[in-house]
Structure 1
Amino acid sequence: MTQTQISMTHHYKQLSFKERGQIEAWRTPQLQPDGTLTQPLSISQIARMLGRHKATISREIKRGTTTQIKANHRFTTTYLADTGQAIYEDHRQHCHPAFKRELCSDFYAQLTIELKRRPRVHSVDTFVYFYRHTYPERPCPSTTTVYRDINAGVLSLRNSDLPVKLRRRVKGTGQSHSRKNQHVLGDSIETRPAVVDQRTEIGHWEGDLVKGKKTEDQPALMTLTERVTRFQIIFRISNYHATTCREGLETILADYGKEHFKSITFDNGSEFAELATIQDTQIYFAHPYSPWERGTNENHNGLIREFIPKGHSLYNYDITTIQAVQDALNARPRRLLGYHSPGDLMPGL
């Protein structure tokens, strides 16, 4: 299995007045010294020369074409850059945000339902992508516009309805990190192969615990996040003693198949002290107090808090509920995955 090709998103840029002038010159026949007229360039030729889509050029020529009366009282139609620019500026003056929201009322109604749904599938960005591809004929605002409207308080949505906004301080890379492990649990992250850092091969995971009440005898969640696909495994363990954590990981490897786990990078906490004894996968340990070295897992653990708030005892969450949380997270489309979901990219798990 190889890494999925991620599609790039290109943002549209309006034609400039200079480009409109070039279109006018290329569409107007020119008198040559021998008395002949040059032929206007085609829409496809102009599109290639400007690096634009031919539909953009076609719409611009249609908008900016006007009828002129020549001296011999003949009527001719021609594209004029001044006309195209004037129409563009007029449209911009009449393009008010409130009017846009009225045009997109169906989008906002569906977005409100989706973001308040529990479990939630979409973020703002993935719902914009979903809506545009499901209803290409309907108007749809950009992701930036939606966030701006929410922050302005003009929608029924509030920031509390949005997915958790995660922040991660990047303090360095493994190559430049000079801190040494205060106690050595096993192989250091510094010895991890470059292929893991490059995210070019599926099968390398990051792991940690998500705790409810911070008491050793309370249940906890062992979480594993695949670095390429962002597939998340969530497994409830009865406590976070070292032996329980080792047994929990052994169960995960047996249930999902050890062939899917080429390496796992864990925190340097004492609860993981026995993991180096596991033979079915290569275990690495991050530096102490360096959560950014497992940033993918840290971010995804934050998403679990949408379902299980901090401080809540995990005694109240059974296996069925935990599995539902895992399924919900793995069903969410992600921009960095080309709007696929982690479950789409790991169908065998």
Structure 2
Amino acid sequence: MARLERPVDARFLSLIEREQIHDLRTRGESMRAIARMLGRSASTISRELTRNTATVVGYLPYAAHRSAVSRRRRPQERKLEPHSDLKSYVAVNLRNRWSPEQISHRLRKDFPDDQEMRVSTETIYQAIYVQGRGALKREIASAMRRGRTTRKPRRDPARRTSRFVDPMVMISERPPEVEDRAVPGHWEGDLIVGTMGRSAIGTLVERSSRYLALVHLEHDHTAERVRDGLVKTVKALPMSLRKSLTWDQGAEMSAHVGFRVATDMDVYFCDPASPWQRGSNENSNGLLRQYFPKGTDLSVHDADELQAVALQLNQRPRKSLDWDTPAERLHALLEPA
């Protein structure tokens, strides 16, 4: 009886309400009149009487309540709770630093005919953050992009301060082909900076494929060092991928004329405090912070380590590429028709 009488949610009819329905129905009140008196919709009263009226003795409140309680949804086993190929796939790729959304959508590409290999993004998050001791152990949360063990609401990112004052070609003068991402070879660039601003890594992202290249800056990130590092990285690319570079107004790019002469690539600069104009690069820099956290010395990472990180990110599926990887998309763009 205690379980029967315990309120579950206001949207469910209570035992008291069912007693009132019985009394009012016995008095001959219409379903709309009963609904008004109980503050419910007429369709709720209609469904209640249809589902829970005994064919012989009519509507009985206790019998109706027992019937309704018996139909309530019982707790189901969570999809990632049992040991399965699906759980193993999710756990392995979380440790490979894929996001839950990437895992959820990539399953459809990797197992197109297997409906058992499906799980929603939210289910993965629930397994990590909500279930506690459930399907996915909490230590896997340390492999998440932000390294959090609890879910937090998004906050507005801090806006960057403009520092570049030399003459430059603004982003508004870029050709239209750059905007639609149909032609490969247009890049966005920036630096991720280490502790106390003493070390940095250059980042380049190709706009069409989101392909990432990292620039090793061994000692410092002066304008000359950045220029030379960019020139070395760009010259390793095919000529078809050397069309333009878009950068923010950081002082590290003050030697942009020398870079343009050495590579024959046009250089464009974003408007002040407008990181969204290099959205692909900003996104990639966020991904890189999983490997190179803020407040750490970035000079300890050698060129081989940077190449390994870039390779892993270029083999990670992306939502913006319909869950292809940047490497797959770049290969398709460069492949002869």
TM-score by length of 2: 0.64
Which of the numbers 174, 177, 198 marks the counterpart of 2:180?
198
Aligned equivalents of 1:315 and 1:182: distance in 2?
24
Q: Sequence identity of aligned pairs in percent?
A: 32
- Corresponding residue number in structure 1 for 2:276: 292
The 5 A counterparts of 1:43-58 are none
- Corresponding residue number in structure 2 for 1:222: 202
Distance 1:274 1:233, change over 3 A: same
- Corresponding residue number in structure 1 for 2:322: 338
- Corresponding residue number in structure 2 for 1:186: 168
Residue deviations 1:151-174 (CA, integer Å, cap 9, x gap): 313441454432249969699xxx
The 5 A counterparts of 1:1-349 are 96-102=75-81, 105-117=84-96, 120=97, 122-132=98-108, 133-134=110-111, 136-152=114-130, 153=132, 154=134, 155-157=136-138, 159-164=141-146, 183-216=165-198, 218=199, 220-238=200-218, 239-277=220-258, 278-279=260-261, 280-347=264-331
Secondary structure of 1:202's aligned partner: coil
- Count of matched residue pairs: 249
Q: Which has the higher contact order (CA 8 A, sep 6+)?
A: 1
Aligned equivalents of 1:287 and 1:146: distance in 2?
39
Shift of 1:105: 4.2
Residue deviations 1:192-249 (CA, integer Å, cap 9, x gap): 1232222222221110111223345x4x211111112110000111311111111111
Distance 1:184 1:191, change over 3 A: farther
Structure 1 unpaired stretches of 5+? 1-91, 172-179
Residue deviations 1:127-156 (CA, integer Å, cap 9, x gap): 223434437153532222222333313441
Letter of the 2:214 counterpart: I
**Which of these two proteins has the greater Rg computed from alpha carbons?**
2
Letter of the 2:234 counterpart: L
Aligned equivalents of 1:139 and 1:265: distance in 2?
41
Does the aligned pair in 2 maintain the 1:164–1:302 contact within 8 Å? no
Q: CA RMSD in A?
A: 3.4
Residue deviations 1:96-152 (CA, integer Å, cap 9, x gap): 4425344674422331232124xx3x3222322343443715353222222233331
Letter of the 1:335 counterpart: K
Letter of the 2:249 counterpart: N
Residue deviations 1:272-320 (CA, integer Å, cap 9, x gap): 0011331310100112222222121011011111112222222321111
Letter of the 1:145 counterpart: T
TM-score by length of 1: 0.62
Aligned equivalents of 2:163 and 2:191: distance in 1?
20
Aligned equivalents of 1:130 and 1:215: distance in 2?
37
Letter of the 1:281 counterpart: M
Secondary structure of 1:209's aligned partner: strand
Aligned equivalents of 2:154 and 2:244: distance in 1?
26
Shift of 1:181: 9.1
Aligned equivalents of 2:182 and 2:156: distance in 1?
24
Letter of the 1:342 counterpart: P
Letter of the 1:298 counterpart: E
Secondary structure of 2:79's aligned partner: helix
